[in-house]
Chains A and B, each alone.
Chain A
């Protein structure tokens, strides 16, 4: 088994953090920018390859730091082209990233935590319990070490974990991805999804320009409470109030993720209530087919049921899309592959 890395990783550090490191090591200030270039704009496999740094400085860095990049340990490929990559975290646990190519775009769904604390009824990751936070480097590594990185057009934080329960790691990773000294990606290509942890969501809205997605799944509080325990402390009306009050601007998008469960949350009553509670929010609803997980009392809807619900929402003026089910043959539901890998150990 691969030994977990004990040295602190450079990958995932912000420019200001790199500046602190070089200052502490007595290196010239401009070295931080040089290191950032090596980390985020070039392809290297070790600190010793940072050839515009003096040998002494490279050795100094290597004493304390590792590069912090790690290749996926496993990949599964679906018949539809979706690939699920398994990465090993610094804790030796497994996390997943799903690469989803489509006709004119290629999206990577990244994880932000190992396991999850949120305990949503429909989620496989929750069954692992919570095992740890991913560092910013481990989040960005899922992108950097992706074999298809050059084809990537979009990144969504919708893999394992609740991003806003790892606010520090997620915000730092967004900085690395969007900063000019980093990957220089447009924030319009990045969506962070949350179940609605309000204080962290506010911090994200105020300090990032990336898109926001909120897991909704029912417009009724008592029903949502049974699906998502978070509803007990951060109730949906407060989540929506926070979004409604924040000046999102024209470029920034809010979407609501809505997993459709057979016979549970797709009635005309649900459509009517969704239209009521989302009134005044410029948004899109993404309907998702439920991918059944072991021991769940929930069932997948039929294609006809989800279509009917889409039409009902659109008739009420809500922009609605149906997300294609992808990678069903490779444990596509997030948490499935890593749970399987964990159970092997």
Chain B
């Protein structure tokens, strides 16, 4: 088990229905796209979450949704400023080094891309973000402002102005002439990752250009 370190929660705020952003001081440097393990006790096996904040921010932030049947997120959602949680050092290799790339995320899978964007790595990137409702399109204001026409929010349950009405998979299927020589980064539940990967491959993107991060 990775070593964990106690840290005081700075803030734990609801940013959307059933979604929280947990903040604590940035005590370890990291590379945007990396994960961190979190537990509520020193003895527990930490659960992994992608860091959602930028590499220069004073606070490290974790985006999570509460799973009622989960062991961690129900008590985590009740954490308040000053409470102690345990974190591992950041690790992981879901790192986008290229100048030009396409990012595809659904749900809290947006976290590594938020970290990259908050770290200033959004130039040359295209983001396709999927959510059920506009409220759960996390960080959409920032992405819209910084990425402009390179930002494609896809809303599967509601028709909203400025959003593609459908899933990210529907959006991608409708695209013609997508670039096949640039890398694609996917993050979300396995089903989305697998479906998007299949679509990209069917459109001529070599699998060697597809990088995936999965939730488990």
Contacts and interface: CB of A to CB of B under 8 A. Distances in A.
Interface of A: 115-119, 121, 126-130, 162, 165, 197, 199, 202, 221, 225-226, 229-233, 235, 295, 297-298
Given A115-B190, A119-B197, A130-B191, 18 more contacts: A117-B190, A117-B214, A117-B215, A118-B214, A121-B197, A121-B207, A129-B189, A130-B190, A199-B1, A225-B211, A230-B214, A232-B92, A232-B94, A233-B35, A233-B48, A233-B93, A297-B201, A297-B206
Contacts of B208: 226
Interface size class of B (residues with CB under 8 A): 20 to 34
B61 interface: no
B91 A126 contact: no
Contact of B201 (A115, A232, A235, A295): A295
Contacts of B197: 119, 121
Nearest to B201: A297
B149 interface: no
Interface in B1-51: 1-2, 35, 45, 48
28 contacts: A116-B190, A118-B190, A118-B214, A118-B216, A121-B207, A126-B194, A127-B194, A129-B190, A129-B191, A130-B189, A130-B191, A199-B1, A199-B2, A202-B1, A225-B93, A225-B211, A230-B216, A231-B93, A232-B92, A232-B213, A233-B35, A233-B91, A233-B92, A233-B93, A233-B94, A235-B93, A295-B202, A297-B207
Nearest to A294: B198
Contact of B207 (A118, A129, A130, A226): A226
A231 B93 CA distance: 8
Contacts of B35: 233
Nearest to B216: A117
Nearest to A162: B216
Contacts of A230: 214, 216
The 10 tightest CB contacts between A and B, nearest first, are: A129-B191, A229-B212, A119-B190, A117-B216, A232-B94, A117-B190, A229-B214, A119-B214, A119-B193, A295-B198
Nearest to B1: A199
B123 to A, nearest CB: 23
Contacts of B92: 232-233
B210 A226 contact: yes
A295 B199 CA distance: 9
Nearest to A231: B93
Contacts, number: 72
A207 B208 CA distance: 38
A262 to B, nearest CB: 14
Contacts of A298: 207
Nearest to B91: A233
Contacts of A115: 190
Contacts of B216: 117-118, 162, 165, 197, 230
Contacts of A119: 190, 193-194, 197, 212, 214
Interface in B72-98: 91-94
Given A117-B190, A121-B207, A229 B213 contact: yes
Nearest to B198: A295
Contacts of A197: 216
B210 A129 contact: no
Contacts of B206: 297
Contacts of A165: 216
Nearest to B45: A199
Contacts of A127: 194, 198
Nearest to A123: B194
A178 B194 CA distance: 36
Contacts of B198: 127, 295
A126 B215 CA distance: 13
Nearest to B46: A199
A206 to B, nearest CB: 11
A232 B95 CA distance: 9
B210 to A, nearest CB: 7
A298 B93 CA distance: 24
A40 B216 CA distance: 32
A167 B216 CA distance: 12
Nearest to B2: A199
Interface in B122-152: none
A235 B206 CA distance: 22
B189 A117 contact: yes
Centre residue among A115, A226, A229, A298 by max chain B CB count within 10 A: A229
B193 A232 contact: no
A126 B191 CA distance: 7
Contacts of A130: 189-191
A232 B50 CA distance: 11
Nearest to B35: A233
A199 B93 CA distance: 18
Contacts of A229: 193, 212-214
Contacts of A128: 191
B130 to A, nearest CB: 15
A165 B190 CA distance: 13
Contact of A221 (B1, B93, B213, B215): B93
